[in-house]
Structure 1
Amino acid sequence: MTSLKDNFNGIQEYADDQGLDLGWIDRQGEWGVKASADGAKGLTLNDTQIGSYGDPPEESDNMTGKPRGAAARPNAYRIGGYQVRTKSDIWLTNASMLYEEALQRQWSSATDIPWQAIKPLPDDIERAQCQLATFLTEVEFVAADIPGRWVASTTPDYFEPRMFLITQIMDESRHLDVFRKRALANGGGLLQRPDINVTTSGVVGSIDLSRDFTEMSSRLHISGEGAVLTIFRMGELMAYNDAEKRIYRLAAQDESRHVAFGVMHMRYLAETEPDRKEEIHEYLDEGERSLVSGSQNPAARDSAQSESLSILLGGGQKNFDEGYRKLLAIRKRQAKEYVQRIRSAGFGERFENGRANPELMEYVRS
């Protein structure tokens, strides 16, 4: 039986006879690597993190799009203006796992939602549903749009977080899609977009103008998506049919991955770049203000979204006060879940030294 080495030698002899240059064959990354698949999960990204292929550099000078572990080509063009080339600026320990989970849990807003379960609702409840759906359509557009800008700005040496962000773009696009469909599925429609002074536009601008990835992630994944995740988890309280219940369950499943990404990135940064902790606390100061008074949180006070939630939670406008009491319970849960995330990320000292937003902490203590 002819061996691989014999075949290669034969090819080399033919190339020499014909004057062909096969020098590229010898320019390779680490050779002799064999990734083994897990029987239940298949061949995952984690399974391929072997030898030099699983060792991202602390600093990357890769400006050519070269895959991590591949041999460099000296005359390659500099095709990437990669802004993120320091590992701690974007890294987290479980990006590969979150990416694999995202692949396995994709769903379709067209076929996985029982749209036929939606029946006519009282006008005040339908209007409240449509106002909330209008708000969520906008914020999910932002949550898809902004990460995309950081994908192209990150060196391929840190491809794991890049690939996760691509799944987030798909997730958020689907959320935009499903909430738009809900607004149009029951005789209602889209209502007025959020007011610039009290809802999304201000914080969206700050996310969009973020100077580095961690600044963006603290605002988007921690403050923004964390607040929305609590709403999705409590979705059954404001759902009036199986379609709406299913929407909130599936959206919460996606959103929990995005929040976990932000928490794990902040934890990695706290452990590897402790000198940046004060900078991150500044971002958290801003995020906490938005959690309690408008901005991207639909349950924050003094917004059309919070009024819509009160109507939905109470079972109609006539039960607004009862709905508002339930909304206060959601705010408390948002605050407590936020505190848990920040502690997990390694920034819990802000809750001990009095730095945390006083109004936010009132919800935690109540």
Structure 2
Amino acid sequence: MEQAVRQGFNLNWLQQLKDQIPGAVDELANDPTLAENTPGLIDESPNQTQRVRGALPREGSPQYAAYTFRDKSEVWGYNLTKLYQEAVSRQWSSATDIPWESLRPLPDDVEAAQCQLATFFAQVEFVAADVPGRFIAQMSPDYHEVRMFLLTQVMDESRHMEVFRKRALANGGGLMRMIDSVSDVTGGSTDNAREFTEMSSRLHIVGEGNVLTLFRLGELMAYNDAEKAIYRRAAQDEARHVAFGVLHARYMNECVPERRDEMHAYLDEAEDRQATGNGGENPAARGANLTADSLAILLGGGAHKADEGQKILAAIRQRQVKEYFQRLKSCGFNDRIENGRVNPALLEAYQAVP
């Protein structure tokens, strides 16, 4: 040991355990994986070095990260730890968890409708992974809970893209024509969002919320156990993403109220796209054309019963609006319903008599 010391060996670095940043020990005691409320979580992060929260800074470390989002108020939300842990525990595989053997030949019109809808979902789920993914590396690592949840969303949406692509190819059909407005989906308001709350308001609260309604009602348009399993598993993932957006909006409403008008403006645009089908995010919208027609065929039981399917589709549109209004109430933006700011077409659908 004496020889080792003479050669420069020492254990002084162990002292860092005693000098640890305040709050790190409490964080570990409260939650061994992540912290929901930690004393070390600061409102504005000066960290530009990729140092993880709680680690001791290294003197002279280059300030090369240049994170765009360094304020907690820009990205934070409630229940991030629970959402992340649920996401990790509920991962599934399209290879082993979908009973593909249950697929049977379908009438040509029904198979074509399934493939068209699967093509749509494969496209929009790609966007739902790609857009949030751009924000991950732009956030300070001091807010790693947000980063880690978004990483699970990227994984979820990638799996959705994979499973819907497989469905389109698995039963004698194939990928169909890209939807007319896909360039608007991938180059439109959601895709062009440069601010985190802007992206989340449009994507999580409105866009994914509309898709979630369809996933929850998937058994109405499923013709075998494989399709039922796809919609059921995709719905549990999508519900988590929507919850993240609602809890972020609730945090913003309660902790950063000066941004309420800005968020209302984001919702104004998103509601227009929900009602009209502009942008292609809502496959059930009246102007969605290919996807709305496909849904009508699947819901009715064939092209010859598409009129019956349209009636069911109208009820689904109303269900989408009701669930959207509930999300607004949950995050504290239901005043837009009460003061008439909400899109008139959505209010009309909400009040329609079934």
Sort the TM-score into its range (normalised by shorter chain): over 0.9
CA deviation string 1:223-282 (max 9, x = no partner): 110000000000000000000000000000000000000000000011111110000000
- Could you tell me whether the CA contact under 8 Å between 1:90 and 1:161 is conserved in 2? yes
Deviates more, 1:14-23 or 1:97-106: 14-23
Task: Tell me the distance in 1 between the aligned counterparts of 2:193 and 2:330.
Answer: 23
Aligned partners of 1:234, 1:49: CA distance in 2, in Å? 33
Larger radius of gyration: 1
Of 195, 204, 210, the match for 2:186: 204
Report deviation, 1:140.
Answer: 0.5
Inter-partner Cα distance in structure 1 for 2:132 and 2:38: 30
| Residue 204 of structure 1, CA deviation | 3.3
Deviations 1:316-344 (A, max 9, x none): 00001100000000000000000000111
Q: Tell me the alpha carbon deviations over residues 137-173 of structure 1, each in whole angstroms, 9 at most, x when there is no partner.
A: 0000011111111110000000001000000000000
Per-residue deviation at 1:15? 6.3
1:29 aligns with 2:4: no
- Equivalence for 1:277: 260
Q: Counterpart in 2 of 1:7?
A: none
- 1:345 matches 2:331: yes
Match of 1:72 among 57, 60, 65: 57
* 8 Å Cα contact 1:82/1:154 also seen in 2: yes
- Residues 282-322 of structure 1, C-alpha deviation per residue, up to 9 Å, x if partnerless? 00001101111112001011221000000000000000110
> Which amino acid in the other structure matches residue 227 of structure 2?
E
Cα 1:203/1:285, change in 2 over 3 Å = farther
Q: Among residues 108, 129, 154, which one is paired with 1:169 in the alignment?
A: 154
Q: Which amino acid aligns with 1:296?
A: E
Q: Is residue 217 of structure 1 aligned with residue 217 of structure 2?
A: no
The 2-side partners of 1:175 and 1:339 are apart by 26
Q: Tell me the residue number matched to 2:169.
A: 184
| Contact kept in structure 1, 2:124 and 2:185, CA below 8 Å | no
Matched, 1:103 2:88: yes
In structure 1, the residue matched to 2:348 is 362
Q: Residue 17 in 1 paired to residue 20 in 2? A: no
Secondary structure class of the residue paired with 2:25: coil
Corresponding residue of 2:298: 312
How many pairs does the alignment contain? Answer: 344
Moved over 6 A (4+): none
Deviation at 1:22, TM superposition (A): 5.2
Tell me, yes or no, if the aligned pair for 1:183 and 1:189 is still in contact at 8 Å: yes
Q: Which runs of 5+ in 2 are unaligned?
A: none
SS at match of 2:180: coil
Match among 226, 230, 244 for residue 213 of structure 2: 230
1:219 and 1:14 map into 2 onto residues whose CA distance is: 65
Distance 1:134 1:73, change over 3 A: same
Deviation at 1:17, TM superposition (A): 3.3
Asked if residue 59 in structure 1 is aligned to residue 51 in structure 2, the reply is: no
Q: Secondary structure at the match of 1:207?
A: coil
Q: CA deviation at 1:70?
A: 1.3
User: What TM-score do you get using the length of structure 1 for normalisation?
Assistant: 0.89
Asked whether 1:261 is paired with 2:222, we answer: no
Shift of 1:94: 0.7
Q: By how many angstroms is 1:50 displaced?
A: 7.8
> Compared with structure 1, are the counterparts of its residues 239 and 334 closer, same or farther at alpha carbon in structure 2 (3 Å cutoff)?
same
Match of 1:69, SS state, is coil
RMSD: 1.9
CA distance in 2, matches of 1:22, 1:15: 11
| Whole-angstrom distance in 1 between the partners of 2:13 and 2:140 | 24
The 8 Å contact of residues 270 and 345 in structure 1, kept in 2 or not, is answered as yes
The residue number in structure 1 matching 2:274 is 291
User: Is contact 1:33–1:50 with CA below 8 Å preserved after alignment?
Assistant: no
Fraction of identical pairs, as percent: 56
Q: How does 1:238-249 map to 2 (within 5 A)?
A: 238-249=221-232
Q: Which residue of 2 aligns with 1:40?
A: none
Deviations 1:48-86 (A, max 9, x none): 56864xx31100010101111111112112232211111
